[in-house]
Amino acid sequence: MAAGVTPAPVATALDAELASRFAAAQQAAAADGVELAITSGWRSASEQQRLVDEALARYGDPAEAHRWVLPPGTSAHVQGLAIDVGGTAGAYWLTEHGEAFGLCRRYQNEVWHFEKLPDGAAGCPPLEPDSSGGW
């Protein structure tokens, strides 16, 4: 592992295949001199609800809050099927190279959010504008 690259944290209930795909991408990013780390992975339903509540408090407008965070019942993080990545260069690197590792960016407004390429899919689905469609 290259100096300065933070290893992916072990995340409770993170899908094993998702973690494996990320580890391969992280190694390739490091070979390109790019730091790539998981900043958030699996979340409990209560943690996800806390994020919803914080977004509602921050934005004041539910429609705006819904652009940034999904409820526990539909969040891929709660299912262990999503990761948020950083640093910024790493997120952009993964946007460019993720499909080769079976990782798909999901939302136009969240450069950091990636999910596993759906089973049987030939490629990543088109980006959604934001997460509001999951409400």
C-alpha 97: how far from its chain's center? 14
The radius of gyration of the chain's CA atoms, rounded to the nearest angstrom, is 15
Task: List b or e across 72-82, with b for residues whose CB sees 16 or more CB atoms inside 10 angstroms.
Answer: beebbbbbbbb
Tokens of 66: 């819904």
The answer to whether residue 110 is catalytic is yes
Active-site residue identified among 64, 110, 115, 128: 110
CA dist., res. 43 & res. 97, Å (int): 25
Tokens of 110: 């969240």
Catalytic site positions: 110
